[in-house]
Structure 1
Amino acid sequence: MDNLLFFFSSFLLFSSVYANYDCPLDSICGNNSFDIRFPFGLEGPRNLQHCTYNPGFNLKCNNQGRTILNLPGAGDFYVRDIDYLTQEIQLYDPSNCLPKRLTHFQIPSSSVYKAVSYRNYTFLTCSTDSVTSRFNVIGCMSDSSTSTLATSSISLARDMKSLYNCSINNTLSLPVSWTSEFEAVFSSDLTNDLVLTWDEPNCQDCEAQRDLCGFKNATTGEIQCYDVPGTGSTKGLQIFRIVALALVVPAITGSMLITCYICYEQNRDSRRAAAALQNTTAGGAAVAPQPETNIGLDDSTIESYTKVVVGESRRVPGPNHGTCPICLGEYHAKETVRCIPECEHCFHAECIDEWLKIKGTCPLCRNNPSPVHVNSS
């Protein structure tokens, strides 16, 4: 009882350290791999006004599960990714014709975003028959008779005008992410995503410490870093260690008890088999040797269970948390987890594989799933 009271009081004290960060930590749109958090905010009932830095960071989620950013004067773009450490947002065109959008694209000086870099591109219109395969054609701006090309080389544009009878349309300064050496010499289809960055608010120090960024004072716009459990931040670290110790010691004890129970069950089965054989021999009845009972699962059955590679968001499908219930270790990106059918509980693949070889049930709910049927090719 004393240990329980100690753990409960430590938990309350630990929770109070993080109580003043009340913005959603798990906002996500559809199956996107990135979280939506400060300075961004997802429009909806969960979005609090002080959780979005300003209206320029408002995002929307459509019925297809796509995250949308509206750029004033340029319209809606789909969001492919957000890198909070480098403060970059990666956008693409819903109509899959980004080059056409870029020809009319301008970032106003009042915008919270700016392009990573700019490059001058000359647009040309050529006869489709005269364009060789080494040139990248902008497909969505071409048709069966004419092809549209873009090049950052003014000398190439002049050569194509004289050699291939192409017409030069215009030269524009376009926001670009990167260009290959091939595109610099020949032409570009400008299909790379549009990458924009922002300077304010500057949350890079918070992200580097794996902390959360948020308003300290929403009226003045002042921001600060907020600690979160499990990120190794300095504030509240001592309390976190105490709580972690209170969790780890019972977990180790429980693991030892589980191991002892498994050994006991195996020894009991062996003793029963030996006693049965001895009684049969004493009674004079000849009984053929029985195969050894294996209460675990074979390798092929274990391998048929679903394996998932953890993404950057460190989210695991099904009714699971961020730690493996067997080893109590956190899931990290690119780790492999295996999920039990029917109950959908997931564990580190190396942890659950060893368990299933001994006991064929789920360690959490004792579910004994039916074998997974694999379609024959």
Structure 2
Amino acid sequence: MQMVIILFHFLLLLIASAVGLGPALPDQDVCEPKHCKHGQPPVRYPFRLKGRQPDHCGSSGFDLSCNNKNQTVLELPRSVQLLVKRIDYVHQRIQVYDQDGCVQKQLQNLILSASPFMYSSDSHYYSEGNFTLFNCSIEDQSEYYDAYSSIPCLSGSGFYVKIEDSDSGNDDLLSCTKAVDISEVPRAMMYNRENKFDFNWTKPPCGFLCEVKGQGCRPNTSNTSGIECYSIHREDKGARMKLIISVAGLAVGSLLLLLSVIGLCWLHHLNKKEKEGQRKIEQFLEDYKALKPSRYSYADIKRITNQFKEKLGQGGYGTVFKGTLSNDVSVAVKVLNNFKGNGEEFVNEVGSMGRIHHVNVTRLVGFCADGYNRALVYEYLPNESLEKFIFAAKGENRCLCWEKLHEIALGIAKGIEYLHQGCEQRILHFDIKPHNILLDQNFTPKISDFGLAKLCSKEQSAVSMTAARGTMGYIAPEVLSRNFGNVSYKSDVYSFGMLLLEMVGGRKNIDVTVANESQVYFPEWVYNRLDKGEELGIDIEDEGHHKIAKKLTIVGLRCIQWYPVDRPSMKSVVQMLEGEAESLTMPPNPFASEDDKKPKKPINRELAAISE
């Protein structure tokens, strides 16, 4: 690998030298012709293109520039600017025009004698003259109006601008007002209606000395003419170009070969890295055929999502897009991150959700396992997650009524109970939180995101774990420390209890922004109030709503007991939520001091652990 890197650097240096990225050769032509853009006249000596050629590339007074539209501009003294149509280097002639079609606007500032140019015309209007412009009323023009001596582009509504030539006789100007005097400008420019002009220059005399011979021209102060001619297509330059092309071709070919080798090595590395994960997925899919979920190719996934047009969200394991099946059914497609882990996330999701058919669990429509491309296709739930409603920002109208909150809590509880008892194998979710509870159009809750789930036998109620999994704030104590007991289905009960309390409080359980320091940890604060016989301290006016909030709070506090043996099963939770609030009693204090947090009864340490 080190030799490959050294060779790569060598080739880069070789190419840089060949194409001119390295040190400049002594005869390198920095004054080669430039263009503002394709189709614009080429700029070379005696002209120079400001900003693109050095000062010595042009003669004094021959400055050209590019405007914001990349048009070539001739800059004359006193800020007169004309656009360049073409440049005839042999006859030393430049054709220009005014951008607005009204060169007379600039003639007041034009002094050609201060530039190297002369007006070029075959007519008697070549000579310069002095002029006065008058504003004349059209209504009073009478028989003295002369269309030829007026300037249409300067005239406006109700008046016209008349030219008074100092060499001509005076007309009746009683209805006119003097506007401006213009001195020493070519008559042909003053009376021009075609908006194009030719300027000539005589010095430097490149045209008849060099250009007519097909040679280039450059300054040379040792000659009387001040210039010297040179061959544009010199043999040494042609030879140098042939050498550059040969070396560049060799370097590019070698680089392409090197990149191909590196690409093959990288692909081999990725194949080796993904080998175990891919084998695991294929073996799983072979065993999973009996369950028959729809399998899609990656091309199908792109078609369903309309080339991933509408993004719904993004998480740690992938990005979710909205899609449509051929029968116009909307779906949510989660495209898993490539090369993420060893395929466990994918196997967990498909293996868990493919077994589930429950109204309170998101339905898996299909999946994609096409090479390294993996995706999961779910039913589309338009109301997004519960998190967006219980943690709604100020000013957002996303609040749910207490009856609907109670229905959602009961639906989530029934969904978790189904995972624990209703499937052929018990499914432990390990990531119950508001973000993973989705709501359909009727606000029916659906448990989603089984990427951290584990499957175990119903006869075995504990699982072994090599590392904690879940989201902080919802993780049961035993998942973090075995001192509190074995990890089991009771870990999901704890997460559900924390979710219930957040639904009641309408806030995160830990909120350091509250004014009262005692309210920072909501579960402990609300337990202390209920334990003292006080109200919940939540703004609830209706008595019936107060009973619902109290019931949800007591059930949540029962679920978050520190020790798994003190927590109810999800079947008991469903029964409590379906019962009356008056029948519920306060649970033990889960926030007692460390000395009081000893198990009230022995923890069953003989439950068989299930290997990951």
Q: TM-score range by the shorter chain?
A: 0.3 to 0.5
Look at both structures and tell me which one has the larger radius of gyration over its CA atoms: 2
More helix by share: 2
- Normalised by the size of structure 2, how large is the TM-score? 0.28
Higher RCO (C-alpha under 8 Å, 6+ residues apart):
1
- Normalised by the size of structure 1, how large is the TM-score? 0.44
